Chain A
């Protein structure tokens, strides 16, 4: 049996349409007999209707104020960025993933290659002899391949980059070694600085380099769960990671695109163009990572 107090308490839920059916009959029966509650119900309806109209446009200064604070914060202490997915995801899948990146900076075209060493590349559709060979490499690690820009004449082939940086530490993200671009280290240098270089990987890199007519180097990285983002990666705005897919924006240069597509095809990764007509779609490839 409903009394007025209970009726008032349930009014909002009733107006929301969320009062259970059994209770609704009791509620309506009480309201039909109680003029005070009937009046209150009308009041409540107006209250809820007008309350919903209280959403206002913020002052014009709000957005600029927020962003000014954010930029101030960024200048004082840059946020620590974590670079989880490439390594954790890829360690968990048995697929070879190539990330091809078109830099927005000058004419840099890059191809990154991540490899799950724990899985079997033979299971990947279209796996090549190279990927099969790579699968035999040490578990719990991944390979990263990166394009090396041509070394200028005066580049220091071994001086500015300590020779032990690539080989000394595969237990953490070898940030210094990723800065290889700035030291113009060639694939040959990698072999020289890393005495334990795997010849299968080296030949694979050579093959890809020949196919794409570019020079690539590579290094081994651990598949730690949570690795700090190397500063180097900050420039790669065009690699996108989400829960379900990884996609990359490829260069507008058709020739470069063709080479990247070929490299992807050769690796056995299932890649498709993002459907759609926007610029992002036209310039992106989706990498489907196997679960």
Chain B
């Protein structure tokens, strides 16, 4: 965002209007990350509020070495992890699906396997995808949301999650593979809609 640094500096000096400008500029993407992470509107609102509270409290310490966007996403990632710790299993039932993480360790995927019916419109497809995202492990879920919903580059995601770009690529590839497996698991869901 052009001139964002000016608003950041003003907000650091206690200018509430400047801070509100920053909130307006970033609340939608933060909310969406939280919403797709939790699958729950109220939890997403709570997480978004918590993120901006943390931003408000620690803005004076923000050195502007990274972009404001990267910084606020990193805070969101941390708040989401805290949420998962406080509410384990909130996003689905644990079932075991064969899969391994980027280090080759076996992991579990949350939730029930997708069970499609006959034909789906786009809205239903998106709902199915959103449900499937909730069944991914936390770290895969964050990566896929940042990449495929929020549209960030691999490089930005690496900075936000503090992992290597290679790990980001691996996580996203596996997350997409898992989503495909979940969505096609029982009924060739996509084959029905793409034919």
| A residues in contact (CB < 8 Å) with B | 8-13, 18, 39-40, 42-44, 46-48, 50-59, 61-63, 65-67, 69-71, 73-74, 78-83, 229, 233-234, 237, 240-243
Contacts and interface: CB of A to CB of B under 8 A. Distances in A.
**B14, B44, B45 interface centre (most CB from chain A within 10 Å):** B14
- Prevailing SS type, chain B contact patch: helix
Contact of B129 (A13, A42, A54, A70): A54
B6 A240 contact: yes
B32 A79 contact: no
Interface of B: 5-6, 9-10, 12-16, 19-20, 23-24, 27-29, 31-32, 35-36, 41, 44-45, 48-49, 52-53, 56-57, 59-60, 64, 122, 125-126, 129-130, 133, 144, 148-151, 154, 169, 172-174, 176-177, 179-180, 183-184, 190-191, 193-194
A233 B14 CA distance: 10
Nearest to B154: A18
B60 A48 contact: no
Contacts of B180: 8, 40, 43-44, 47
Contacts of B12: 81-82
Contacts of B148: 48, 51-52
A242 B9 CA distance: 7
B79 to A, nearest CB: 13
Contacts of A63: 23-24, 27
A241 B3 CA distance: 11
A43 B14 contact: no
Contact of A11 (B28, B133, B176): B176
Given A42-B190, A65-B49, A81-B13, A47 B176 contact: yes
Contacts of A52: 148-149, 151
Main secondary structure of the interface of A (DSSP, over half): helix
A47 B183 contact: yes
Given A51-B149, A54-B130, A55-B149, A81 B45 contact: no
Given A11-B176, A67-B23, A80 B52 contact: no
A276 B15 CA distance: 24
Given A66-B52, A67-B23, A240-B6, A79 B176 contact: no
Contact of A240 (B9, B28, B41, B133): B9
Given A55-B150, A237-B15, A43 B45 contact: no
Contact of B9 (A39, A48, A241): A241
Nearest to B32: A55
B24 to A, nearest CB: 7
Given A55-B32, A69-B53, A13 B169 contact: yes
Nearest to A246: B9
A51 B179 CA distance: 10
B186 to A, nearest CB: 14
A156 to B, nearest CB: 30
Given A9-B174, A51-B149, A66 B49 contact: yes
Nearest to B17: A237
Contacts of B183: 43, 47
Nearest to B132: A47
Given A62-B48, A234-B13, A242-B6, 20 more contacts: A8-B180, A9-B174, A11-B177, A12-B172, A40-B180, A42-B194, A43-B184, A47-B190, A50-B122, A56-B35, A66-B27, A67-B20, A67-B23, A70-B53, A73-B53, A73-B57, A74-B16, A80-B60, A234-B14, A240-B10
